[in-house]
Structure 1
Amino acid sequence: MGLFEVLTKKKDNGEELKIEELSSDDLRKLYIEENKTDFMIADLFNVKKSKVTYLRRKMGISIRNAMIDDYLANQTEAAEVNRLVKEKILVEDNIDMISKAITHFAFRNGPVEDMHADPDSQLSDSDMKTLNKYMVNRLAYVFTLIIENRRMEFDYLIKNLDFWAGHNWDKAEPDDGGIREEFEEAMRNMRNFRN
């Protein structure tokens, strides 16, 4: 039984849970290891989500810092770290998180956001909500195929759409959006901090 479940039982039994008494190790466990959102933790402790977010940031608890810690702890075994991260991230429970993050990375944080922010734009907030939901749902399907190793269905999806669309588009060029540079800088800073 995980920490979240233990705390939930205590709360259900009438015990008052105080966020101020939650250690950084326990908050890290809830957020990183058990993948509980700030909202879920806030609900458990009957506080505002912003209070949990503030505490996490104050304690340096973030997905990014956890990735860095995992990487630095196993520098000589980078291949093993990548395998472990793959097993941890590519699971069905993470499809919603992955789909939303990739939608932000590949769609929302790009030209469409500029178009939406333009005062002369015809993209309303409702239009953006529709587009975001569409993207998240489609990506959720793609990541479901990948995570569940439904390779034949994934192959069918790719080849079926490749046959009909995209032939006149420019060749795909990987664009990390600056994430690689940020990751490498974070690695350097963490190494310097630990030395």
Structure 2
Amino acid sequence: MNSSINASSKYAYHTFESVEFSGVFDRIVNNDLTGECKYHLFIRYGDKVYMDVKGVGEIVIPFAELQQNKYWKYYYDLSLLLTNNKNMVVQDLKYSSEYNDCQLYDEARFWSIDTASIENDLHNNTLMIISYDDNCFYKICPYDLENMGYTSQEDLNIFRQNYMMGYECENMWGIYYNLAIEYQTNLIQKKFEEIL
């Protein structure tokens, strides 16, 4: 797993040719004081896919396994539409990190991606995409995926069961997908206008 690295005092930008990083971050605002965050994070290296889901856990599976599960495939496809640079991951250098969200993750995380996020404000009845939101951080170092084994069948079954108990997916599918398509269309239109 090879990459090129550009660094500053706070961040190291790792660009890969053969690794794909993507994620869906969904912020649901119930009212002015409460909300909920969900995420689906993916790293694809060849046939191997790492998936981390808020409140469920993490697994490493073959790409074909991901494609067979309609829920995982939906979020994977949506993540590809929302992620701005699928071949780059940003390392937040540990001793200069400004990241400190103890409510979202259970542990310190230092590897993030440039992805848009979905904000579903139930209080104001609005739904929008925030073009860049520094919230999608991986639990693992991406370089470790190359040597990670696949999740055992027993652990995969537990993950599936926990996933199905914790996620009501289908009720927002069409809305989120259409919103992501609109986001991509606007990005393409903006690039086209810059060329002219």
> Larger relative contact order (C-alpha < 8 A, sep ≥ 6)?
2
- Structure number with greater Rg is 1
TM-score where L is the length of structure 2: 0.31
TM-score where L is the length of structure 1: 0.31
- Which structure features the higher share of helix residues? 1
